[in-house]
Amino acid sequence: MTINKLPPSHEIDTRYMGHVFQIMEDCADERAEGWTKLGLLVNQSPDNPSVLTYIAVVWKGKKYDKWFPELALKALADIFYDWQQELIVGDFPKWTAMFFGAVLQSDGNVRTLWLPEYAADYGAWRITRDAPNWPRVEAELDKLLAREQG
């Protein structure tokens, strides 16, 4: 049996994760009612508090990645900044990149997944400008969906 070890910062992480997923789901419900998949990549700038994001939604069987409202992006950036500051104050490792995924299950509930990265090069969640980001996001969302189908 494998037991997943919670990071030392799990209380902080859980609180901020909840805020991020709430914003993602609220925006998807408002702009793409009936969405089935949501994926977010975030990369923390090493030089300042800004972040780079890639956010996709699957709605009516099609992927959209230029749908997220500007004000919601600002709210996410503020959350990510506060998250990092709280990790610094608590002397916890700071993430460099993260994946957030949400899929609608057959029972109507939403299943979510958060995968942090701590490598300086952003690891698997590096947002690229010269290659599509969607295939990595889609692969992780498909794994999340497959867990329900067991």
CA-CA distance, 2 to 94, in Å (whole number)? 25
CA-CA distance, 142 to 83, in Å (whole number)? 28
Give the 3-state secondary structure of residue 55: strand
- Does the domain formed by 10-149 have CATH 3.30.1330.40? no
Residues 87/69, Cβ–Cβ less than 8 Å: no
CA-CA distance, 55 to 141, in Å (whole number)? 13
> Angle at which helices 10-31 and 70-89 pack, to 10 degrees?
180
pLDDT truncated to tens, each residue of the chain (150 aa)?
A: 445 676 789 899 999 999 999 999 999 999 999 999 999 999 998 777 789 999 999 999 999 999 999 999 999 999 999 999 999 999 999 999 999 999 999 899 999 999 999 999 999 999 999 999 999 999 999 999 998 776
Q: Where are the domains of the chain?
A: 10-149
Residues 37/103, Cβ–Cβ less than 8 Å: yes
Token digits for 117? 């990265």
Return the bridge partners of 97, or none: 43, 117
The type of residue at 133 is: N
